[in-house]
Structure 1
Amino acid sequence: MARPRISDVAAAAGVSPTTVSHALNDTDARVAADTRARVKRIAREIGYTPSSLARGLRTRRTRTVGMISDVIATTPFAGQMLAGAQDAARENGHLLILTDTGDDRDVEREAISALVSQQVDAMIYATMWHRAVDVPSGLPSDTVFLDCRPADASHRSVVPDDRAGGASAARELVEAGHRRIAYLSSDDPRAIAADLRRDGFLEVLSGAGISHDPALILHGDGTTASGRRLATELLRLPDDQRPTAMFCFNDRMAGGAYRAAHDLGLSIPHDLSVVGFDDQQYHAAEQEPPLTTIALPHYEMGRWAMEVVLGVRDADPKTSHLMPCPVVRRDSVGPPPARSANLSRRRTIPNESAAPAAPEP
């Protein structure tokens, strides 16, 4: 069956094709309301769909939004950023076009040029993790930055409120009664989030009257293996110096802390409480016991960025919007253990080589 044409709608409605075009696109107030309603009803009944290309030429809008990302499309636990952006685009009659560059600057330049030449209505620039970025050349001035902030504060952006998230993690442990709390951080100099989470963490400790021991902040590369190594180092300290709780930069490092505790014969949360960060899909909730963590608001950030770039909501171009990071309470936090119980339960690992390497999830 041939696809219905605008002339078919015009014939059925008893009006000209021009009137049909104006009625369907709401472009001429002189078309009477009853005529407009009749044309739209007939178009629906016969299954007529206006050409998006022709409509774009008339309105100079393509109803598309381009998204440039580094590795988001290939990173499963960041997919919620795409879901949030896609949902908001769909609700506002737009299609999202995603280009994942693999963090390759040459590919990025080509992708930006291609999307601009396609005349997308707007663009979003997204990264896998919170950091400051130099604005790539060729990006339109109304581009919104997602999960990153432009180094020159020239564009609107949305990032997680990592400082408040670190404070929430510390508060969970302090309110459970812990006073010797370690922070397993990231050593990547680009990771703004690591320092922000630490600052929020230390602020809560200070407010609780806890003098924090700098020896309880260790840095790793964010992997499960580094979390295991750092946690083992801390848990092998003399009993009166060991932390009773650990806040980890991400859920993978928290998983490493779980393995270190298991190596030493310690039980979570009876002997060691652990809080992660990310609420990484298929990871945090699958730990034994399930991991209490701070969720990264991927979906909410993706939705916010799309709504801003489409003009559905306003945003300050000079200040990054901080998206709250909620606490996801599970079973890895409890009160601090009695020291004597710790001593009786703990096994000794003579050296690091005795602990098998931990495969990455």
Structure 2
Amino acid sequence: MTRPGTRHGPTMHDVAAAAGVSQATVSLVLNDAGGGRFSEDTRQRVHEAARHLGYRTNAHAKVLRDGVAGMIGFVGDHVATAPFAGKIIEGAQARAWEAGMLLLTVNTGGDQRLEEASLEAMLSHKVAGVVYASMYHQVVDVPDVLGEVPAVVLNARDRSGTFPSIAPSEELGGYTATRRLIDAGHRRIGFINIGDVEEGLPAVVGRLEGYRRALAEAGVDYDDDLHRPGDGHEDGGYRNTLALMTGPKPPTALFCGNDRTAWGAYQALASLGLSVPDDVSVVGFDNQESLAPYLRPGLTTLKLPFVDMGRRAVELILAGNATPGHTELFECPLIERHSVAHLQHLPTQRTGTA
């Protein structure tokens, strides 16, 4: 059966005829602009007729009327392809959908030309705002063009201090991870970071600050020999764990700056004949769902609150009242599994050999 209307689909006139109302009534009902002037029966007839005919509202007309489209732009570097950062999109998309809007997502892969083109396209389509997201927590240079619309920097910080930002609380996360090991009786706690502090990455600097604060609070002196810069990869976790555990005073616990580092630590400990947590307790960071639950034993780790952060970014755009330059930090909750044991329950630690 051929639907009424032209080859471009049914028109508002077709919906009005099917529902037995005027075209003006259809327009007001479908655009939620009629207030309480129509009965529920009228509203239902209009919506049912539109669904039956396959009528779609004119997005271009909405832009002309309201000045914005029913879309929010989302531009990320490698967010959509990262093994766990994609949760940010999940949260942002869910919140946009709750507000009756779509999330227009572009993953640039770090290509600046693609980023520029996608932002221009989004602005030309009159998006209600743009979420500018990063795969990992870093300081970024936000394109000036985003000053034309409400914009929020997500999982990063705006270097210029112009745009509001949302990021994980790295310092609190490092503190929480170290505090968990201290509460289990450990005092010699090794820390394998995910980079060199000199590089200035917020995750690297913040997690080290949290580690040091927890030690100081417990009356434990910071020992530089127990801190390794690391590289955030499995191999770095393996090599640095070997170095720590074969030293003159090996630690009884390890705080690893991310879960991939912890994975390498597990392998290094096994190669030395040491087990987790019977000989050495381990805490990670990220709660990478494809990894942390499947290590044996399951890894106790900190969860990056990506879903909540994504939702909050869209909320700030919808509210339109975010404070320029303000960074909102999200707590990283501790996810308990089975990689931490109380020190008094440990057997006499065996020292591995290189």
Q: Indicate yes or no: 2:50 matched with 1:42.
A: no
TM-score (norm 2): 0.90
Partner residue of 2:132? 125
Match of 1:287 among 280, 290, 295: 295
Partner residue of 2:16? 10
8 Å Cα contact 1:251-1:276 kept in structure 2: yes
Match of 2:236 among 226, 242, 252: 226
Partner residue of 1:273? 281
Q: Secondary structure at the match of 2:343?
A: coil
Shift of 1:92: 0.7
8 Å Cα contact 1:24-1:39 kept in structure 2: no
Partner residue of 2:6? none
**Corresponding letter in the other structure for 2:28:** H
Partner residue of 2:247? 237
Structure 1 residue runs without a partner (length 5+): 350-361
Q: Secondary structure at the match of 1:76?
A: coil
Match of 1:251 among 247, 259, 264: 259
8 Å Cα contact 1:183-1:246 kept in structure 2: yes
Within 1, Cα distance between the matches of 2:62 and 2:125? 15
Within 2, Cα distance between the matches of 1:40 and 1:187? 59
Q: Secondary structure at the match of 1:153?
A: coil
**Corresponding letter in the other structure for 2:338:** D
Within 2, Cα distance between the matches of 1:226 and 1:253? 7
**Corresponding letter in the other structure for 1:148:** A
Deviations 1:267-305 (A, max 9, x none): 111111110000012111111111000000011111111
Shift of 1:137: 2.9
Partner residue of 2:151? 143
8 Å Cα contact 2:245-2:352 kept in structure 1: no
Partner residue of 1:33? 38
Within 2, Cα distance between the matches of 1:126 and 1:119? 19
Structure 2 residue runs without a partner (length 5+): 4-8
Within 2, Cα distance between the matches of 1:38 and 1:5? 21
8 Å Cα contact 1:270-1:335 kept in structure 2: no
Shift of 1:20: 2.6
Q: Secondary structure at the match of 1:53?
A: helix
Partner residue of 1:206? 216
8 Å Cα contact 1:185-1:222 kept in structure 2: yes
Q: Secondary structure at the match of 1:211?
A: coil
Partner residue of 2:91? 84
Alpha carbons of 1:186 and 1:45: their partners in 2 closer, same or farther (altered >3 Å)? closer
Within 2, Cα distance between the matches of 1:95 and 1:157? 21
Q: Secondary structure at the match of 1:182?
A: strand
TM-score (norm 1): 0.89
Deviations 1:323-354 (A, max 9, x none): 110000111111237898323xx4422xxxxx
**Corresponding letter in the other structure for 2:235:** A
8 Å Cα contact 1:72-1:100 kept in structure 2: yes
**Corresponding letter in the other structure for 2:85:** A
Q: Indicate yes or no: 2:197 matched with 1:192.
A: no
Within 2, Cα distance between the matches of 1:329 and 1:302? 24
Alignment root-mean-square deviation, CA: 2.1
Partner residue of 1:216? 226
Shift of 1:159: 0.3
Shift of 1:132: 1.0
Number of aligned pairs?
Answer: 341
3-12 vs 120-129, greater mean Cα deviation: 3-12
Deviations 1:2-45 (A, max 9, x none): 1553223333555431233134324466x8333xx444221122
Match of 1:57 among 64, 72, 86: 64
Within 1, Cα distance between the matches of 2:238 and 2:191? 13
8 Å Cα contact 2:16-2:46 kept in structure 1: no
- Percent identity, aligned pairs only, is 39
Q: Indicate yes or no: 2:27 matched with 1:24.
A: no
Q: Indicate yes or no: 2:111 matched with 1:109.
A: no
**Corresponding letter in the other structure for 1:321:** E
